[in-house]
Amino acid sequence: MDFAQSEERYQKLEKIGEGTYGLVYKARDNQTGEIVALKKIRMDHEDEGTPSTAIREISLLKEVQHPNIVPLKDIVYDESRLYLIFDFVDLDLKKYMEIVPQLDRMQVKKFINQMLQALNYCHQNRVIHRDLKPQNILVDIQQQNTQIADFGLARAFGLPLKTYTHEVITLWYRAPEILLGQRQYSTPVDIWSLGCIFAEMAQKRPLFCGDSEIDQIFKIFKIMGTPKESTWPGVSTLPDFKSTFPRWSTPTNPAATLGKDISNLCPLGLDLLSKMIVYNPYARITAEEALKHAYFDDFNN
């Protein structure tokens, strides 16, 4: 990878979005004529050097290479500016869902399979994304291909698990263990987020859409039931779990309960979804296990 020393190589055409830690532009590579995505990293404290989040994103993207993960093409930097250069992709999943009437069942299956492939690769390489949401899934309309993007909050992990911040993952896609204050967490938080995206692709609206942390918790509880020690050992000891929480009953058949609102998923799809949003992170399905689920038996990559 050649690191460009001057931003003159890239001509900004228009602002197309805002990532976790920077603005994203559509730009032209003046050397090749190629259209690219240019992510400008915010340098809020220039005297402190390059933000640690940017260093982390660069180092992780240099390590992960997968057809369903956005590749880092180039880096432009000087003392006061840092740009990351990526392939330009038409839309993110959120915008894509806004312009299509409905994703058909096979399209939902194809997209979630691609995301699971990418996530399985990340997790096998000990990387947690920590910010999966439709805005961070890019969609190539022509190829019908998705790519996971924005690794600004991603972390490499090891064993034993370290204590991490709970200020991660956009609220609607945040796993319950993080919402309840757990500081030691791992790959299951990504599976929960991807389960929420799975449901959203099928029903074209978010599965749990709270307007605050407590509202988000209660939105989850109303559908999945208030967690208890018998279903999630240790839940009552989490920092933000309250014994005074309202007690919503746990559904005896979570897949059937989800199916009442998500009509565009077949029974096998609902079964997979129910395994992705299990409360107990240790009982939540892994990306590797999900790819072997019967939901994908009729699917050819």
Binding residues for ATP: 39
Torsion over CA: 8, 10, 13, 15 (sign): negative
| Known binding positions | 39
| DSSP label of 160 | S
| Dist CA 228 CA 247 (whole Å) | 10
How is residue 143 written in tokens?
């190829």
As to burial, measured by CB atoms within 10 angstroms (0-12 exposed, 13-18 middle, 19+ buried), residue 184 is exposed
* E-only strand ranges, the chain: 10-18, 22-29, 35-41, 72-77, 82-87, 91-92, 127-128, 137-140, 145-148, 155-156
Torsion over CA: 220, 223, 228, 233 (sign): negative
Asked about 131 being catalytic, the answer comes back as yes
How is residue 98 written in tokens?
């806004």
| Dist CA 266 CA 286 (whole Å) | 20
Instruction: Return the amino acid letter for 272.
Output: L
Q: What is the DSSP string of 176-203?
A: HHHHTT-----THHHHHHHHHHHHHHHH
* Whether 114 contacts 146, CB under 8 Å: yes
> Which one of 131, 150, 190, 271 is the catalytic residue?
131
Longest pairwise C-alpha distance within the chain: 63
Beta-carbon contacts of residue 93 (< 8 Å; ≥ 6 apart): 111, 134, 135, 137, 138, 139, 146, 197, 201
The residues carrying an active-site annotation are 131
